[in-house]
Chain A
Amino acid sequence: MSGQTRDAIVEIRGLSKHYGEGHTRVDALRDLDLTVRAGEVVALLGPSGSGKTTLLNIIGCIVEPTIGNVRLDGEEVYDNRWLRGDLRRLRLDKIGFIFQFHNLLPFLNARDNVAVVLQLAGKSGPEAQRRATELLDYLEVGNRKDSMPALLSGGEAQRVAIARALANSPRIILADEPTAALDSKRAGIVMDLLRKLAAEHDACIIAVTHDEKIYDRFDRLFHLRDGRLDGAEGDQK
């Protein structure tokens, strides 16, 4: 994939984040630059405490950086224009989340878990249901649309979670250990699916992972160590 020629969706410049002050200060991220383009699937790698989750939270508009610029799909974030409610709206419109343990709402069936995101974005009930069914069919779990999450297998639940992440056609998909709860065969299937989605939806996917078996499914690998990136553009695959 020729990532350099496509639009930059995530642009981070001079990003630092620290918690606490004085001798209790912890520098989670230090002077970090990162660009991820449309269609790219990249991984954030690193040991525990290296800053992967903090970076994911900052890109996900959950945690505000101490200093630095974050630009998501052409919009500058964290520049005092954004209120908490606006950031939530930005997440709803532009960012999809995929979690390690799918985090489906246990009281909604598969279709409603997807539809709820669409309704939060303002779609009517029938329209949300129709779109949710389409997405589940697209991800080949349409036959399980009326099942409650507790009755889905790990792979099915993760596909429903992916459908939910895609519901509002986001430009950025953030994935936290998306294959950790799956066996290697299903992990490979999910990663192939994510790659396909990134290409078809012109979105970028940023995943935190420790799963070495799927490293070859990423376009670039960013290694984080003590809050810094090893290599500005990551390892090209």
Chain B
Amino acid sequence: MNLAYRDVRHNLFRFVLTCLGLGLLMSVVLAMIGIYNGLVADALNLVKAPQADLWVVESGTKGPFAEASKIPEDTREAVERLHGVSEAGNITYQTVEAPLAGKTLRLYVIGYERDRPGGPGDVVEGRKIVQSHFELVADRDTGLTLGVTIRLGRNRFKVVGLVEDTMNSGGDPVVFVTLADAQTLQSQLAPPAARVQAARGASAEIAKTVAAVVARLEANADIDAVARTVRQWKHLSAMTQADQEQLLIKSVVDRARRQIGLFLGILLTVSAVVIALIVYTMTMEKLKQIATLKLIGAPDRTIVGLIVQQAIALGMVGWAFGLALITLTKDGFPRRVLLEPYNAAVLAGIILVVCIAASGLGVRAALKVDPATAIGG
């Protein structure tokens, strides 16, 4: 006869309510883990999207994500000629705000060369860009749909394709345009400003620079040797894909990671205290029953089992509530909440340990109960 189960069944409504409260707390913990995962995944998706082996950027910078980088457009041709490089593409990155249906849409614009590395990965709806100008492929989270036109800078672009899970580390959804359109967007001035520049005698020519050149290497190429060669060019630097990913996590995501990690620590501490208080209160309410059990001869392990099993049930049901809640609501979050089964399993393990530790207070109180109190002495 499992006394913990019987007691829970007897006070089912209260138990469920308590679990629900704990579940809300667990859902916040899981949301924080999911937001952190989403942050890292979004940042890495952006770096992984070009499927590059090598990133060629401006010398002395950690571009193009951690720092701004600007290199001549024709660098791509030099890189492409290197031994071991199979293909290369120019790429630009910039953040813009675009008006759409009375709202302002914040977008991360990637300019790339068609049929070269740097474009969108899998287009889940529509097609890739085939025109030289005024077409874009957007992440579904932009809210844009196929066929819609949107003004970027001084030109209108038509949405021809949609991709998924492509955002920058700040959570801005990505749109892909051609390199030429992206360069125009970067440097084209508004008419009054253009007239002022023309009056000053400044050139109205669009600057032919890019943020980076992404290169794919042949299967048997020595990536470090290629990178070393690029670094010998004084105005350029090169990073492998692994370097770029590491850099992004360390310099771009690290502060957010530490912040969320600290918050997670606080939440878990609060959860532990809440569980300990609930278990202690549940035990204190049962002191007379525990005294009776002791008096009729129940061994300590029966009484400890009653408390610890209830604490574990409380934690696990709360965890399950939290997991169900976050699974149902995660798509409504403004930022991607990415929960891996591994995360949920680790949290379950932590909650299990917390429950066992938190039930210590209740167990201590129960073991100190004098069986004589059942008699009234």
Residues of A within 8 A of B (CB): 53-54, 56-57, 60, 62-63, 85, 88-89, 91-93, 97, 99-100, 103, 105-108, 112, 115-117, 119-121, 125, 128, 148, 164, 176-177
Contacts and interface: CB of A to CB of B under 8 A. Distances in A.
Please classify how large the interface on chain B is, using the bins under 10, 10 to 19, 20 to 34, 35 or more: 20 to 34
B302 interface: yes
B372 A88 contact: no
A60 B292 CA distance: 13
Contact of B11 (A62, A93, A107, A115): A107
25 contacts: A53-B372, A53-B377, A54-B377, A56-B375, A57-B375, A62-B370, A85-B300, A88-B294, A91-B296, A91-B297, A92-B296, A97-B375, A105-B292, A107-B7, A112-B1, A112-B6, A115-B1, A117-B297, A120-B297, A120-B298, A125-B1, A148-B10, A164-B296, A176-B375, A176-B376
A53 B292 contact: no
Nearest to B298: A120
Interface in B1-37: 1, 3, 6-7, 9-11
Interface in B104-127: none
Nearest to B377: A53
A105 B289 contact: yes
Interface of B: 1, 3, 6-7, 9-11, 288-289, 292-300, 302, 370-372, 374-377
A125 B376 CA distance: 31
Given A105-B289, A116-B1, A116-B3, A88 B297 contact: yes
Given A91-B296, A117-B296, A107 B288 contact: no
Q: Sort A-B residue pairs by CB-CB distance and give the 6 closest, nearest first.
A: A92-B297, A107-B10, A53-B377, A107-B7, A103-B292, A91-B297
A128 B295 CA distance: 19
B51 to A, nearest CB: 61
Nearest to A63: B372
A106 B10 contact: yes
A100 B370 CA distance: 17
Nearest to A118: B1
Contact of B297 (A63, A89, A128, A177): A89
Contacts of A60: 295, 375
A78 B300 CA distance: 20
A85 B295 contact: no
Nearest to B291: A103
A171 B165 CA distance: 75
B6 A108 contact: yes
Contacts of A117: 296-297
A117 B299 CA distance: 11
Contacts of A121: 297
Contacts of A93: 297
A53 B297 contact: no
Contacts of B6: 107-108, 112
